A = this chain, B = another copy of it.
Amino acid sequence: MLKHPLLQKYDALKRQCGTALYGEASTRLLDEVYSESLVFLHKLPKPSLVSKVEGKEYFAFQRGKKISRAINTQLYSDSLDDWRKLRTSMEKDDLGRFDANRITQVLYSMAISFCASVDLIKDGDQKTPGTFFEYFVAYFFAWRVGVEPRNSIQILNVDGEDTKLPTDFVFNLGPKKRKFHMPIKTSSRERSIMLWAHQRLLDGVYGTDRFMGTPVLLAETKTDKAKKEVVEICLPDQWRVYQLYIAKLKRIYYLDLPAAYSKLNEEFPPIRVRPFGEFFLEWADLSPG
């Protein structure tokens, strides 16, 4: 069976991102993936979902009997033009009129278009959207900080050869410069403790706060496909305990920021949970501690 054109383009993007994340080749391939997603989604019905999330509305794309994951109505815009403007701004290294909200919207629309398409093209495939989202976020991050990430760290081993430990993306901006530890997930759910555990490991190996933990997540929505209802699965009490007892994360970025986590910004212990667009404006001011 021939692979769907969108998945063929995704394969090419994945191959490229395995070599170099930000650059001409990956920009062109990302553009193709987004265009192809929009072509695929364009002709599909968009039933509204019953939103159990205060202040947010959601819809889904439908193909036959299948519906995609939930899509935030306020954040979504199927505008190839917006992305191309952002792309041009990125190439000039001047975000100009793009404020944090607009960046979040463009990135949300791109990411969710691909994920929703895969929901409808494949059956129960969580891996493809997950891997795409990793490369997607790392692409923008690599552009902003100007270095390519690594996926493993050296562990000093007094007994002989150093061990190489696989990690989430780590971006090292150079000697004595800021360093980022960036797990990237479409959602955290019952595995959120892993975000803090990996930070704890880096703190242990390289010294507390040497790497700033800045995970990026897509959303915490869960859709009941029979009832067409959307909820957000959030565990703020647990996050608070992780932040106190396991490690400190500097920021947690979301494309579709859950209401319950947004509140954590104002409480003790502070956990700074922000729309991902804000990263692009505040990244140079972030400092450890």
Contact = CB atoms under 8 A, between A and B. Distances in A.
Interface of A: 124, 155, 159, 163, 165-166, 191, 193-194, 196-198, 200-201, 204-205, 237-238, 240-242, 244-246, 268
Contact of A238 (B159, B165, B194): B165
Given A124-B124, A155-B241, A194-B193, A200 B201 contact: no
Contacts of A155: 241
A242 B163 CA distance: 13
Oligomeric state, in copies: 2
Query: In terms of DSSP, what is the predominant structure of the interface of chain A?
Result: helix
Contacts of A244: 204
B237 A163 contact: yes
Nearest to A159: B268
Given A191-B191, A246-B204, A165 B197 contact: no
Given A193-B194, A194-B191, A197-B197, A205 B237 contact: no
A147 B119 CA distance: 45
A246 B197 contact: yes
